[in-house]
C-alpha cells in the first residue's frame, strides 16, 4: 500500500475539516478554556497534543496484537503518560515560560478525549503508518481551533499577537480600549461556538 494512498490521505486530511475532532465531535474543548488567552501557549499546546497523539497512535498500533484486551486501556494510559512526561520535561528545559503558562494542562493531556478516542477507535485496529497519520491529522485539527481562539482572544483582549504589539498606539490615543472580556475563559466557548457555526454553514452537507 502506498504511503500516500487515498485511505492514508483521508486519515491525515479529514480531521482538518470534515471530521475535525473539536467542531464535529466537540472534544478537547477544555483546553480552549484554559490555554487560549494568549496565542503562544495555544500554539505550544496544539503542537504538544499533535506530537503525543501521533506517537502514541504509532506505538499502540505497533504493539496492538500483543496487548491483552482486558488491560488495553491501562497500556494506552501508560504509553500516553510516558510521552506526556517527555514533552513536559522538554518544555521545562527549552520553553520554561510557556511551560509555566500551561501549568498543569500539559499533564492533563493524558485524559484528552481526542487522544484516547483515536487510540481506541483507530490505532487498535489499524497499521502503524495510517495510525501515525491519523494522530497527526487529529492533533493538527485540534491545534487549528486552539490557534484560532488564541489569535482572536489575544488580539482583541490584549492588542498583541505572540506578545508583540499589533494594534498601534494611535488607536489607543483616539479612545480604543482592549476588550477585557476576551481574557475571560467564557469567551473561548463563545468563539468556539462561532467557529462551529461557521464550519457547519460552510460545509452544508454535514447538517
Q: What angle do CA 94, 149, 123 make, to 5 degrees?
A: 70
pTM over 0.85: yes
What's residue 2's pLDDT?
A: 61
Query: What pLDDT does 140 receive?
Result: 96
Residue 125: closest CA among 174, 61, 43, 197:
61
Three-state secondary structure call for residue 161: strand
User: Is the CB of residue 135 less than 8 Å from the CB of residue 58?
Assistant: yes
Burial tier of 180 (Cβ tally within 10 Å: 0-12, 13-18, 19+): exposed
Cβ-count burial of 141 within 10 angstroms (0-12 exposed, 13-18 middle, 19+ buried)?
buried
- pLDDT category at 160 given cuts 50, 70, 90 is very high
Q: What is the mean pLDDT of residues 134-147?
A: 95
Amino acid at each position: 500500500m502506498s504511503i500516500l494512498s487515498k485511505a492514508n490521505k483521508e486519515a491525515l486530511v479529514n480531521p482538518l475539516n470534515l471530521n475535525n475532532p473539536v467542531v464535529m465531535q466537540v472534544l478537547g474543548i477544555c483546553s480552549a478554556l484554559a490555554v487560549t488567552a494568549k496565542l503562544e501557549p495555544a500554539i505550544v499546546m496544539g503542537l504538544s497534543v499533535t506530537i503525543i497523539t501521533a506517537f502514541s497512535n504509532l506505538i499502540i498500533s505497533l504493539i496492538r496484537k500483543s496487548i491483552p484486551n482486558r488491560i488495553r486501556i491501562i497500556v494506552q494510559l501508560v504509553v500516553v503518560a510516558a510521552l506526556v512526561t517527555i514533552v513536559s520535561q522538554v518544555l521545562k528545559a527549552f520553553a520554561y515560560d510557556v511551560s509555566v503558562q500551561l501549568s498543569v494542562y500539559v499533564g492533563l493531556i493524558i485524559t484528552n478525549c481526542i487522544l484516547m478516542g483515536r487510540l481506541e477507535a483507530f490505532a487498535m485496529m489499524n497499521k502503524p503508518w495510517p495510525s501515525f497519520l491519523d494522530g497527526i491529522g487529529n492533533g493538527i485539527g485540534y491545534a487549528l481551533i486552539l490557534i484560532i481562539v488564541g489569535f482572536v482572544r489575544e488580539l482583541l483582549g490584549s492588542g498583541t499577537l505572540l506578545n508583540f504589539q499589533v494594534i498601534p498606539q494611535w488607536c489607543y490615543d483616539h479612545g480604543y480600549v482592549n476588550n477585557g472580556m476576551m481574557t475571560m475563559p467564557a469567551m473561548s466557548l463563545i468563539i468556539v461556538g462561532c467557529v462551529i457555526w461557521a464550519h457547519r454553514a460552510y460545509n452544508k452537507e454535514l447538517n
